[in-house]
Amino acid sequence: MAAAIALIFFYAPLDEDGLNQKIFYFHVPIAFTAYACFGWGGWKALRHLWKRDEDADLESYVAIHLGVIFGLLTLVTGSIWARYRWGHWWVWSEDQLVLFLVLFLFYCAYFMLRFSLPPGPQRANLSAVYALFGVALIPVSILAIRLSQRFIHPIAFDKGGPNMAGSQFFTFCVAVLAMFAVAATLYHLELAGKRLDVRLRELREALQ
């Protein structure tokens, strides 16, 4: 991660946007990481339903939890970028931002669902089914949002910009890998913490 930051600030050449182009190396990797978290959460949900893997429920939940955090960061960095690039905090013509807003709402509903159910096999099942819906929603939403631009904005924004030079692309790849590493570390930390909680609760119950 430190290497990525160093590369972002000292190695990658500035393009016509100047300094604020640097946020590209944060925004896009964060977005990729959020997708990866949602995908991982969906995969674990499928494992739970299919193989009756008890641990998969918690793993799916932790992955989605991280996905929501990274999704929120994507929204924030994306709107900062939009502010500098186009002068508005929010641009409806930017497909990715709108998609993340939809996904963010969806996964917030996931938390609402999860917290309004008593812990147990039923909660695990319902959460897993809803997480699977999320994975199906991602491609459908991408398609739908693309299509919606036609009647909401007749003239599509030409994004222009990153025809990446070699050094930029290298920095970008390192940034993506670094963000994945951060996510993986957080995932294992969080998972260990949650498992400890569960274990502690079991021990307490055994003592009483």
Partner 1 sequence: MTYFADVGALARKDLLLELRARDTLPAMLLFVVSTLVVFHFVLPVGSSDLAATGLLWVALLFTALLGLSRSFAAEREQGVIDGLVLAPSDRSAIWLGKALSILAFLGLAEVIALPAYALFFKPVSAALVGGVVLADLGIAAVGTLLAAMATASRARELLLPLLFLPLAIPIVIGGVGASVSADPGRYLGLLGLYDALFAIICWASFEYVVTE
Part in contact with partner 1 (CB under 8 A); list of ranges 6-14, 30-38, 85-93, 145-153 = 145-153
Can residue 90 be called a binding residue for partner 1 (CB under 8 A)? no
H/E element holding 38? helix 24-51
Task: Select from 198, 187, 143, 174 the least CA-distant residue to 39.
Answer: 187
Site string for partner 1, 117-136 (x = CB under 8 A): xx-xxx--xx-xxx-xx--x
What the block records as the tokens of 65 is 């939890």
Part in contact with partner 1 (CB under 8 A); list of ranges 12-20, 60-68, 138-146, 191-199 = 138-146
Q: With respect to partner 1, which residue has the nearer C-beta, 18 or 120?
A: 120
Can residue 182 be called a binding residue for partner 1 (CB under 8 A)? no
Can residue 35 be called a binding residue for partner 1 (CB under 8 A)? no
Asked if 137 contacts 106 with a C-beta cutoff of 8 angstroms, the reply is yes
H/E element holding 100? helix 95-115
Q: With respect to partner 1, which residue has the nearer C-beta, 149 or 182?
A: 149
Can residue 155 be called a binding residue for partner 1 (CB under 8 A)? no
Q: Which residues contact 57 (CB under 8 A, 6 or more apart)?
A: 44, 45, 48, 124, 127, 128
Q: At what angle do helices 95-115 and 24-51 cross, to 10 degrees?
A: 40
Q: With respect to partner 1, which residue has the nearer C-beta, 2 or 155?
A: 155
Instruction: Pick from 1, 6, 76, 143 the residue near partner 1 by CB under 8 A.
Output: 143
- Rounded to whole angstroms, the Cα distance separating 204 from 201 reads 5
Can residue 112 be called a binding residue for partner 1 (CB under 8 A)? yes
What the block records as the tokens of 175 is 């940034």
Query: What is the binding site for partner 1 (CB under 8 A)?
Result: 49, 102-103, 105-106, 108-109, 112-113, 116-118, 120-122, 125-126, 128-130, 132-133, 136-137, 140-141, 143-145, 147-148, 150-151
